[in-house]
Amino acid sequence: MAGLRFFLQMTTEVLHAHDPVLKWNLRQLYWDVIWFGILAGSTLAFQSVYAARLGASEFQIGLITAGPAIINLIFTLPSGRFLEGKSLIKVSFQSAIGQRLGYLVLVALPWIFPSFLGQVWGLIWITLVMSIAGTVLAISFNAMFAEVLPPEWRAHAVGRRNILLAVSITLTTIVSGQILDWVVFPHNYQVIFLLGAAGAMLSSYHLGRIRRQDPIIKALSQPNGDPDEAVLLAKPRAMLRWDLLRGPFGIFMFSYMAFYTFQYFPIPLFPVAYVDKLHMTDGMIGLGNAIFYSAMMLASFRLRDFSTRYGHRKVLMASAALFPIFPLLMGLATGPILYYLACLIGGGVNAMLTGAIINRLMERVPADDRPAHMTLHNLALNLGILGGSLLGPVSADLIGLQPSLFLGAGLRLLAAGLFLLWG
């Protein structure tokens, strides 16, 4: 009954929008994130743990995130140019399908590569290939999100998407953890990867159902035609805009790049800590994920209120300052208790931070030049992912796992200071 009341509330909030296209788009964006939550709570939540259980090193786990970042850096500029003059909705849908078909291949990983080492490298290479289409999706979705939602609805939509994502991931991780404990290895992970692939395809389906409404295009379109079929008349512009880097947006992007670098620094270390340091079962890891996203859901209810009252920048500052808590507690942990506490606090912080970071970005990106600005953001994001994902494992090799977790906490605190200066 609680779940039914929640979805009825979500539907009622959507109906507050008077524009029928806006109502429709909100529904599609909500369903998109529900199904994406199934992907995130299954495949994405456990693929690094799977690699750790196969015996992967911190460096190999780092490559699961660093490899796609390299692909993103190579293909970001061509992707930005490709997006000029094209429908962001169609490109988002097509690139989502192209990327997410790779999750089906993960299901067959134990059959394709019989050895554990072969499966580790197979996971890395499959993720790498998927990232080509994922680059286009990363740029097009953010630009499309800003295009189809008016500014006054973005914080609302981000907050509600976070809530739905948290509910979906929480339920999925609980179920996934139980499946992983009940079913024999590696068939348990094959079931999880199949569940994630189904969620990925259904998420992509709802992205393809989003509609574009633009007054100029509506005037040019046929009365009953699809507005998304119209050709955009904006003159293509160069994607790598050095003038933007020389202006205030450049130092703003530097603070974002530093944040992403320090965010990803400890991430390859967490699965190794779960398996080798804390000796947790998949069910225990799944319970921690469920706690994390439950806290994220509860905090997300307050995101719009905090953003309205304090502004996106102050919410970003406060949540970034609390972001180091997770790696700090993981460094101190000797058992699951501090891990669960880290998940509880980290989920609430993550809800505010993920909402604030995208909302603050949209405040700084002009509506008439989104592709070029989002291309620069994508470059900053992937440089950060690449640097952090490689530096974390190097640090663990040099000074050890626990000191590197503490270092990751310190670097995340430094990122909060950079946001204070330039964010």
Structure confidence by residue, pLDDT tens digits, 113-169: 888 888 889 989 998 888 888 888 877 787 777 777 777 777 678 778 877 887 888
More confident residue, 5 or 327: 327
* 70 domain-assigned: yes
User: What is the signed CA dihedral for 389, 393, 395, 399, rounded to 10 degrees?
Assistant: 160
Q: List phi, psi (to 5°) of 226.
A: -85, 120
List Cβ neighbours of 236 (8 Å cut-off, separation of 6 or more): 81, 84, 85
Question: Two tokens at 85?
Answer: 């003059």
Query: Is it the case that residue 110 has pLDDT exceeding 70?
Result: yes
Q: Is 130 left (phi over 0), alpha (psi -120 to 50) or beta?
A: alpha
The angle at the Cα of 108, spanning 104 to 112, to the nearest 5 degrees, equals: 135
Residue 217's CATH number: 1.20.1250.20
* 180 domain-assigned: yes
Q: Which of 262, 267, 269, 255 is nearest to 411 (CA)?
A: 262
More confident residue, 289 or 374: 289
Mean pLDDT score of the chain: 80
Query: Is it the case that residue 77 has pLDDT exceeding 50?
Result: yes
Residue 324 pLDDT level (bands cut at 50, 70, 90): very high
Would you state the pLDDT for residue 408?
92
Helices 312-322 + 303-310 axis angle, to 10:
120
Question: Two tokens at 170?
Answer: 């929480």
Task: Give yes or no for a contact between 412 and 327, defined as CB atoms under 8 angstroms apart.
Answer: yes
Mean pLDDT of 209-228: 51
Q: How far is Cα 54 from Cα 52, in angstroms, rounded to an integer?
A: 5
Q: How far is Cα 334 from Cα 386, in angstroms, rounded to an integer?
A: 29
Task: Report the domain count for the chain.
Answer: 1
* 108 domain-assigned: yes
Would you state the pLDDT for residue 39?
92
Would you state the pLDDT for residue 261?
93
Residue 31 pLDDT level (bands cut at 50, 70, 90): very high
Question: Two tokens at 67?
Answer: 């490899």
Structure confidence by residue, pLDDT tens digits, 359-382: 788 777 776 666 677 777 778 888
* 81 domain-assigned: yes
Q: How far is Cα 88 from Cα 369, in angstroms, rounded to an integer?
A: 13
Where are the extended beta strands (E) located within 57-159? none
Question: Two tokens at 415?
Answer: 């990122």
Q: Which of 51-65, 224-238, 285-299 has the lowest mean pLDDT?
A: 224-238
* 357 domain-assigned: yes
- Distances in whole angstroms, Cα of residue 393 to Cα of each of 60, 203, 270: 9, 32, 11
Question: Which of 14-18, 80-84, 240-244, 344-348 has the largest mean confidence?
Answer: 344-348
Task: Tell me the whole-structure pTM to 2 decimals.
Answer: 0.71
Mean pLDDT of 185-210: 90
Query: Is it the case that residue 341 has pLDDT exceeding 90?
Result: yes
Question: Two tokens at 319?
Answer: 């949540």
Residue 38 pLDDT level (bands cut at 50, 70, 90): very high
* 5 domain-assigned: no
More confident residue, 76 or 26: 26
More confident residue, 88 or 111: 111
* 145 domain-assigned: yes
Would you state the pLDDT for residue 338?
94
* 231 domain-assigned: no
Q: Which of 56-60, 87-91, 277-281, 400-404 has the lowest mean pLDDT?
A: 87-91
Domain hosting residue 92, numbered range: 19-224+243-422
Query: Is it the case that residue 414 has pLDDT exceeding 50?
Result: yes
Mean pLDDT of 99-117: 87
